């Protein structure tokens, strides 16, 4: 196994397009690490630069004790699984799995035995004679994994390998992939734009925007305390409510309503009255009531304009009558709510986050 160390890594394309902007990053030995961000943020470029499929404009890449910046892909001891799996359609499953060993001039009998061994581990023993076109999407994904495993690499690189699967298969493949990585203990870098996928799989996550790391941390750290409004708006199956407001002592004025500041920190209280901030609260950390709560401190009055059924919960969109942008609230699936009804959103102060100039206080 091997750690990955990136120092000042830069990638600039013709036309002065900067895809990676002097990144410094340490990925630990045996870690399942996710690169997360919107399309065009540089995550796939970073993965391909680690693999050697893209050459760095500046900076260095080290895998284990070796600097590999100038080495070709075949000498970096990494295995990559692509979004489209990149299987050879004219080859059998056995030959696809054994292909990396063929490149290394491994004898045919040994290649065949290794392919059968790895295929058995991934439940592909009955499909060795088939071709990719005769397999389901989930089976093709496992063939791509088997091919990566066959050469015992120091590092696995996954470029959105689950994005071509349907919703049910994605969940199954996600569980399978996490269990497999734990058993093998191979350092794994996983690229995805799906934040739920990153939160479920990764030991740590780097959230990228425009070629820069905007936050690095565990899934819990990134979900509970996004470091800036970009991460706050990107992470979460329903985005965080980000409401512009002004400081009023220990309270934040949003529109005409006074909402409680965060508990456990005096960062907001240290700001002068009238300071402009952004009040952050996730929909699941708001309590909703249709009962009269005008006299309850911290109640934000609004009117329900949209109800979205999410299965085990409902997502309500409220237009605050006190002014300000709409906000969303998560409520139980069996709570009776109707469009147009007045109601109140009450934040849990221990879950409130305050941002100033885009950064968490």
Number of domains in the chain: 2
Residues 202 and 270 in one domain: no
Residues 226 and 249 in one domain: no
Question: What is the pTM (predicted TM-score) of this model?
Answer: 0.89
Domain containing residue 131: CATH number: 3.40.50.300
CA gap 92, 43 in Å, rounded: 32
Domain boundary among 234, 269, 289: 234
CA gap 191, 159 in Å, rounded: 5
Domain containing residue 303: CATH number: 2.40.50.140
Token reading at 328: 């969303």
Average pLDDT, the chain: 90
Token reading at 250: 């220990």
Residues 80 and 125 in one domain: yes
Output 336 or 169, whichever has higher pLDDT: 336
Residues 202 and 264 in one domain: no
Residues 254 and 211 in one domain: no
- Position 294 confidence tier, pLDDT thresholds 50, 70, 90: low
Residues 12 and 135 in one domain: yes
CA gap 226, 234 in Å, rounded: 9
Task: Give yes or no for residue 268 having a pLDDT over 90.
Answer: no
Q: Measuring CA to CA, how many Å separate 276 from each of 74, 88, 167, 248?
A: 53, 57, 42, 10
pLDDT digits (tens, 9 = 90+) for 305-330: 999 999 999 999 999 887 778 999 99
pLDDT digits (tens, 9 = 90+) for 106-158: 899 999 999 998 888 888 899 999 999 999 888 888 898 888 888 889 999 99
Q: Distance between alpha carbon 334 and the CA centroid of its chain, in Å?
A: 31
Residues 348 and 277 in one domain: yes
Domain boundary among 211, 234, 257: 234
Residues 253 and 277 in one domain: yes
Residues 209 and 351 in one domain: no
Domain boundary among 215, 234, 253: 234
CA gap 128, 135 in Å, rounded: 11
**What is the per-residue DSSP string for 236-247?**
SSSPPEEEEEEE
Residues 116 and 207 in one domain: yes
Residues 99 and 125 in one domain: yes
Residues 190 and 248 in one domain: no
User: Which range of residues forms the domain containing residue 173?
Assistant: 4-234
């Amino acid at each position: 196994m091997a750690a990955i160390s990136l120092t000042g890594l830069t990638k600039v394309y013709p036309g002065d397009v900067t895809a990676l902007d002097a990144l410094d990053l340490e990925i630990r030995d045996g870690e399942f690490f996710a690169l997360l961000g919107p399309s065009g943020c540089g995550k796939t470029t970073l993965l391909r630069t680690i693999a050697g499929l893209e050459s760095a404009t500046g900076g260095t890449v080290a895998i284990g004790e070796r600097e590999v910046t100038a080495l070709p892909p075949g000498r970096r001891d990494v295995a990559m699984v692509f979004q489209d799996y990149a299987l050879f359609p004219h080859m059998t499953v056995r030959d696809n799995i054994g292909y990396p060993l063929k490149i290394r001039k491994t004898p045919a009998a040994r290649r065949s035995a290794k392919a059968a061994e790895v295929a058995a581990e991934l439940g592909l023993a009955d499909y060795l004679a088939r071709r990719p076109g005769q397999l389901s999407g989930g089976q093709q994904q496992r063939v791509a994994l088997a091919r990566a495993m066959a050469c015992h690499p120091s590092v696995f690189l996954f470029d959105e390998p689950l994005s071509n699967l349907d919703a049910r298969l994605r969940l199954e493949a996600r569980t399978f992939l996490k269990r497999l990585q734990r058993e093998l203990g191979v350092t794994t870098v996983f690229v995805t734009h799906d934040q739920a996928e990153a939160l479920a799989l990764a030991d740590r996550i780097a959230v990228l925007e425009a070629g820069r790391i905007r936050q690095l941390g565990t899934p819990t750290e990134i979900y509970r305390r996004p470091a800036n409004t970009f991460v706050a708006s990107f992470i979460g199956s329903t985005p965080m409510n980000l409401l512009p407001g002004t400081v009023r002592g220990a309270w934040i004025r949003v529109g005409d309503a006074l909402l409680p500041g965060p508990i456990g920190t005096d960062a907001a209280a240290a700001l002068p009255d009238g300071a402009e901030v952004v009040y952050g609260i996730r929909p699941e950390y708001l309590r909703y009531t249709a009962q009269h709560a005008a006299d309850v401190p911290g109640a934000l009055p609004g009117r329900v304009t949209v109800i979205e059924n999410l299965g085990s919960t409902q997502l309500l969109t409220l237009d605050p009558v006190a002014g300000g942008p709409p906000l969303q609230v998560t409520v139980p699936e069996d709570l009776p709510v109707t469009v147009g009804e007045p109601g109140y959103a009450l934040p849990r102060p221990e879950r409130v986050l305050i941002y100033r100039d885009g950064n968490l206080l």
